Amino acid sequence: MAEIVSKEKIAENIYSVQIFTPLIAKKCKPGQFVIIRLDERGERIPLTIADFDRDKGNIRMVFQVVGKTTLQLSRYDVGEDISDVTGPLGNPSEISNYGTVVMVGGGVGAAPVYPIARALKEAGNEVITILGARSKALLIMEEELTSVSDELLISTDDGTKGKKGFVTDVLKELLDSGRRVARVWAIGPAIMMRFVSELTRKYNVPTIVSLNSIMVDGTGMCGACRVEVGGETKFTCVDGPEFDGHKVNFKLLMERLATYKEEEKRALENYRKSIEEEGE
């Protein structure tokens, strides 16, 4: 059991919660994730660790309401418990002094970028962060990322803040400017990670992506999170979640992410209905 110690709505449909889980807070490293199960009937879902406070024993998770479980979690209040939190899972990011690194965070993916960017900054890198969202109201983590970046560039699809366009437009400009970029991290929707990887491949810049596959146990036991990397089958939970973006089969990733589309819709509708009935 892990108690929710803080909860904040940080953008439309995006929430940030901190939970008290001292052992995980003590052990986790940037790039790792946890698997949570809200209650006895809950599904196990992976969430990336957006921050951790080893002294207070908290970890922070940022999530977008997309389905039943995330909607339910958004309705939890401070002081309530999440039944199960398992972690830290997955391999930590490889932190080293690369030189100049570009951190690309799209949508809710900006959250896990933060601890990685911080660690890279601490390791001596020049950190350039590109933060993207559909619209200004959906931008998150700007303050946190500013604090660990030498430069923060913003793009929104509708031009309400920063450059109008996609993160890839900003990244392309940066790469074209002749800046020597040693490595790119891209975390966000699969489609964004795919376009970033396709772009950086042309420039020969090593690119790390963090995949958000469907998981059950998160320990290599079931294979739900299978992905293809360089033509080989890998398990995101134990071989990742970070992989060489130039080798990931994004088409397969996106197809597999849609496995339970109908079921997810049904579960969400049922849950919405039960909330309404409760409210009456």
Binding site for other proteins (CB under 8 A): 23-24, 27, 37, 41-44, 68-69, 83-89, 216-224, 226-228, 233, 235, 238, 251-252, 255-256, 258-260, 263-264, 266-267, 270
CA separation for the pair 156, 173 (Å, rounded): 15
**Minimum distance from residue 246 beta carbon to other proteins (Å):** 19
Site of tokens 């080989």: 232
Please say which residue, 106 or 241, places its beta carbon nearer to other proteins: 241
Q: What is the three-state SS of 122-149?
A: HCCCEEEEEEEECCHHHCCCHHHHHHHC
Nearer to other proteins, 78 or 258 (CB): 258
Question: Toward other proteins, which CB reaches closer, 59 or 110?
Answer: 59
Q: Which residue has the tokens 């901190």?
A: 18
Q: Considering the complex, what minimum distance in angstroms separates the CB of residue 93 from other proteins?
A: 15
The continuous run of DSSP H or E covering 239 comes out as helix 236-239
Between residues 8 and 39, which has the closer beta carbon with respect to other proteins? 39
Amino acid letter, 264: E
Task: Report the 10 Å Cβ neighbour count for 158.
Answer: 13
- Rounded CA-CA distance 173/178 in Å is 9
Strands 81-82 and 2-11: antiparallel
Q: How far is the CB of 103 from other proteins (least distance, A)?
A: 25
In angstroms, the CA 102 to CA 158 distance is 23
Q: Closer to other proteins at the Cβ: 142 or 242?
A: 242
Pairing between β-strand 226-229 and β-strand 232-235 as defined by DSSP bridges: antiparallel
For residue 47, give the 3-state DSSP assignment: strand
**Least Å distance between CB 260 and other proteins?**
5
**Least distance from C-beta 250 to other proteins, angstroms?**
12
Between 89 and 138, name the residue whose CB sits nearer to other proteins.
Answer: 89
Contact 53, 25 (CB under 8 A): yes
Shortest Å distance, C-beta 227 to other proteins: 8
